[in-house]
């Protein structure tokens, strides 16, 4: 049993002892960058979302409010999904659209029940095609709008 004194016997000797694990770790981290066909998999990801250009034009399923004149009012995640998570609201909208007309209509009515703005008279579930770089804040009209369903907001 060790009780103090000389600690040289407890210290690993040599630079290789420290560099070998560091080199192995570096190889594991850098390995995906040298693959011919980037693929995202377990246990090591090749980070495909960063490996190739995906373009700047995106399709975003969303829901908007419309006033009596037809002007668009952006709805927040609280109204769309009932929570504060933007990604969850976007995913719920995307799934409702993918599931078809009946699902989109039910989702639209659910959103309409959460609307608290007296100016909004209708909810529209739609897919917007936008240039994500040129219109980061969605200040401009979308390149294309595909309306999936509309429903009235009842007070």
pLDDT at 39 over 80: no
Can you give the pLDDT at residue 99?
A: 96
Residue given tokens 């000389």 in the structure block? 6
| pLDDT tier for residue 9 given thresholds of 50, 70 and 90 | low
Q: What percent of the chain has pLDDT over 90?
A: 55
Higher pLDDT, 112 or 137: 112
pLDDT exceeding 70 applies to what percent of the chain?
78
| Position 123 confidence tier, pLDDT thresholds 50, 70, 90 | very high
| Average pLDDT of the residues in 87-97 | 95
pLDDT in tens, 42-66: 555 555 555 566 788 999 999 999 9
Cβ burial 41-69 (10 Å sphere, 16+ → b, else e): eeeeebeeeeeeeeeeeeeebbbbbbeee
**What is the average per-residue pLDDT within 22-28?**
87
Q: Above 90 in pLDDT, residue 92? A: yes
- Taking CB atoms within 8 Å and a gap of at least 24, the contacts of 33-40 are none
Work out the pLDDT band at 138, boundaries 50, 70, 90: confident
Containing 73, the helix (H) or strand (E) segment is: strand 72-74
Residue 7 has pLDDT above 60, yes or no: no
Q: Indicate the domain borders of the chain.
A: 15-51, 57-152
**90 three-state secondary structure:** helix
Question: In which band, very low, low, confident or very high, does the pLDDT at 37 lie, cut at 50, 70 and 90?
Answer: low
Tokens representing 71 are 């002007």
């Amino acid at each position: 049993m060790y009780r103090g004194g000389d600690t040289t016997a407890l210290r690993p000797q040599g630079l290789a002892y420290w560099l070998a694990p560091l080199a192995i770790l570096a190889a594991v981290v850098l390995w995906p960058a040298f693959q011919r066909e980037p693929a995202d998999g377990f246990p090591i990801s090749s980070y495909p979302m960063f490996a190739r250009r995906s373009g700047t034009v995106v399709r975003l399923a969303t829901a908007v409010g419309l006033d009596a004149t037809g002007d668009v009012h952006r709805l927040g995640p609280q109204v769309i999904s009932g929570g504060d998570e933007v990604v969850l609201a976007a995913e719920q909208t995307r799934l409702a659209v993918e599931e078809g007309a009946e699902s989109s209509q039910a989702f639209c009515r659910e959103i309409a029940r959460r609307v608290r703005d007296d100016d909004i008279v209708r909810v529209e579930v739609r897919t917007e095609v936008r240039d994500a770089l040129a219109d980061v804040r969605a200040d401009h009209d979308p390149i294309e709008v595909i309306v999936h369903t509309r429903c009235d907001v009842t007070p």
